[in-house]
A and B are shown apart, each in its own frame.
Chain A
Amino acid sequence: MCGKTLYDKLWAEHVVRTDEDGTALLYIDRHLVHEVTSPQAFEGLRLAGRRPWRPHAALAMPDHNVPTVNREQGIEDPISRLQVETLDENCRTFDIPEFSMTDPRQGIVHVVGPEEGATLPGMTVVCGDSHTSTHGAFGALAFGIGTSEVEHVLATQCLIQKKSKNMRVRVEGKAGTGVTAKDIALAIIGEIGTAGGTGYVIEFAGEAIRDLSMEGRMTLCNMTIEAGARAGLVAVDDKTLEYVRGRPFAPREDLWEQAVAAWRELHSDADAVFDREVVLDAAAIVPQVTWGTSPEMVAPVTGRVPDPSAEPIEVKAEGMRRALAYMGLEAGTPITEIAVDKVFIGSCTNSRIEDLRAAAAVIKGRRKADNVRQVLVVPGSGLVRRQAEAEGLDRIFIDAGFEWREPGCSMCLAMNADRLEPGERCASTSNRNFEGRQGPGGRTHLVSPEMAAAAAIAGHFVDVRAF
């Protein structure tokens, strides 16, 4: 008999019952809730006269719609305001713990969950949001769900699920300086494509993954959904335990010791078999920049915008031509000659303290280029913001001509007032470069925080390793 993968173990620990056809009832340990995908779920509960099964297994906060300036004046847009107020009201009615918009702990749900220790190793974590994959960095089985499922979890603490297949992506060797988790994530997506992970749960392994900090592992797992997999995983090690220890929701004393003993088992067995395995050489990865309208349309910063006429598959070539037209780019242009209008440092991919430190280190004592109209720095949570200010990072950003904002999703998806104008080009640390994602007609290039900061100073993309 062969051993079990980490995913096999997490799955087996959470199955309440299995039907003959393999459909399982899976128990959910932590349910994160935000204002956009929850209102109809709560209304469904109300209509059916149901109560949440375990309200304190949930943790709610508004993030998508919240303004990042002048928050004390409330939300101007009536639809955004109603969504946020509805969440407050639902949490009160159904006794769900909430960090409201003015709570110092409020922030992007995928940043706050781990920060509070509400995400723990070995948990099942769900949220009505696809980037729930982020929490897999802790050796937790974490994935996004739809509104009907949000209601289902609220009412039953369970989900009806079928098991996925196992895939392992090993990144072996050491990544060079200036090469971050974001670059590794983009390089993996460039390699396997945005549908490469469809039907799988991906475990990330290898020396370069073990070398990553917890923040870096979260960045990597966050992007798993862009590779088509619902969930990403990293095995538990000392770094995981060090990160979790002492967080407000984390167990203490005897319970901590007991938990650690269980968490030490959260890795794939040496003889576990994966349905698919991919290996990358970390040393070969250089800083990445996306040039198109899908995260797989990515190039090394040392490269050029690719030429569709060199693509043998016609459907792909056509997709490339459309992307280049939308992005306003010529084939063959060196990546470093692409000038940017705006820079966004934030989102659940790259808005943790380590990301802000890295960006600040690149720009310290310099100023943004004149052609760059706006640089937004949006911390992932109120506590990240406070920590950054204690370290003086806010001054570094402000002195460079950047704007220092309050926490939220902000220009990652442009649901609040932060957005691109049609045709504007942005170096962004977020996770999606789809058409119109950062505002109708806006052009997004996905990069690491270091690369975004350097682009803000230079006015165009630069290789941060030589900056």
Chain B
Amino acid sequence: MQAFNTFTGIVCPLDRANVDTDAIIPKQFLKSIKRTGFGPNLFDEWRYLDHGEPGQDCSQRPLNPDFALNDPRYQGAQILLARENFGCGSSREHAPWALADYGFRVIIAPSFADIFYNNCFKNGLLPIVLDAETVDALFGKAGGREALEITVDLAAQTLTLADGTVIPFDVDPFRKQCLLEGLDDIGLTLRHTDDIKAYEARRRREAPWLFQER
């Protein structure tokens, strides 16, 4: 996983509550055997005017001009601003895969669904919970003529707006460390490589039949 460093990015406001994982990536795309390539189908039903199916060339499809992701101001956005209970629904990891594949690195909302929240960290995305008032204020700024830019500093746990406003946020210290170092669950386990090797060496002596290579 890529290490999470300080960056400045454009905010895309998605003004809906209870956005579920099926809206993030509709179920017809789950038959894929890949975990990448979901970006063009992120929010498929809202983003395009036609019905999406796997294998289409999305650049040829009619865009919904009223959907935020298609707004010229928000092209290249890396920060998604959302409402309550973002990511509810299924436990599959396709939703964070799609958001990350599109290019999002941070999601800001007043609350997240539990499993989705944890799945974000596993996939290098930073979900930030802010109180509803602050989120409201950000929606106001993000909807202006010029796109809102925010500098995200995970180490300092701050969001800094162009006008100098600094907004602190909370994050679990363990999860923070993992993101800063680019460690996923596998990366973490691999920190204990010596323990695993020592265990194997012992078991090879005690139970050699478990290590017959064929």
Contacts and interface: CB of A to CB of B under 8 A. Distances in A.
B207 A259 contact: yes
Interface in B164-186: 184-186
Contacts of A44: 35
A255 B185 contact: no
B16 to A, nearest CB: 28
A326 interface: no
**6 closest residue pairs by CB, A with B:** A39-B33, A251-B209, A40-B35, A156-B189, A16-B199, A259-B209
B189 A160 contact: yes
Interface in A153-182: 155-158, 160
B128 to A, nearest CB: 23
A17 B195 contact: yes
B130 to A, nearest CB: 28
B105 to A, nearest CB: 17
A43 B36 contact: yes
A258 interface: yes
A48 B195 contact: no
Contacts of A251: 209, 212
B210 interface: yes
B33 A157 contact: no
Given A47-B36, A86-B33, A158 B210 contact: no
Nearest to A35: B33
Contacts of A259: 207, 209
A123 B209 CA distance: 11
B207 A157 contact: no
A43 B34 contact: yes
A148 B34 contact: no
B49 interface: no
Contacts of B184: 48
B205 to A, nearest CB: 11
Contact of B208 (A83, A122, A258): A258
A27 B190 contact: no
Given A29-B210, A43-B34, A82-B33, 17 more contacts: A25-B189, A25-B195, A25-B196, A27-B196, A39-B34, A40-B93, A43-B33, A43-B36, A123-B210, A151-B186, A156-B186, A156-B189, A157-B200, A251-B209, A255-B208, A256-B209, A258-B208
B203 interface: yes
B214 A148 contact: no
A249 interface: yes
B57 interface: no
A251 B1 CA distance: 40
Contact of B209 (A17, A53, A258): A258
Given A122-B207, A157-B196, A258-B209, A152 B186 contact: yes
Chain A contact residues, majority secondary structure: helix
Nearest to A55: B213
B213 to A, nearest CB: 5
A97 interface: yes
A249 B208 contact: no
A441 to B, nearest CB: 19
B98 to A, nearest CB: 13
B122 A255 contact: no
Nearest to B93: A148
B186 A27 contact: no
Nearest to B207: A262
Given A148-B93, A148-B122, A158-B189, A43 B35 contact: yes
A259 B34 CA distance: 41
A16 B207 CA distance: 15
Interface string A194-233: 0000000000000000000000000000000000000000
A152 B189 contact: yes
A336 interface: no
Interface string B14-58: 000000000000000001011110000000000000000000000
A309 B209 CA distance: 58
A259 B206 CA distance: 9
A443 to B, nearest CB: 24
A156 B207 contact: no
A364 interface: no
Nearest to A29: B210
7 contacts: A25-B189, A29-B210, A43-B36, A47-B35, A86-B33, A157-B200, A255-B208
A266 to B, nearest CB: 12
Interface in A96-124: 97, 120, 122-123
A338 B185 CA distance: 51
Interface in B88-134: 93, 122
A249 B210 CA distance: 10
Nearest to A249: B214
Given A25-B192, A122-B207, A157-B196, A50 B186 contact: yes
Nearest to B206: A262
B93 A158 contact: no
B1 A56 contact: no
A270 interface: no
B93 to A, nearest CB: 7
A155 B186 CA distance: 7
A256 B207 CA distance: 11
Given A43-B35, A82-B33, A148-B93, A160 B207 contact: no
Contacts of A256: 209
Given A16-B196, A158-B196, A40 B186 contact: no
Interface hub of B31, B200, B207, B209 (most chain A Cβ within 10 A): B209
Contact of B185 (A16, A97, A148): A148
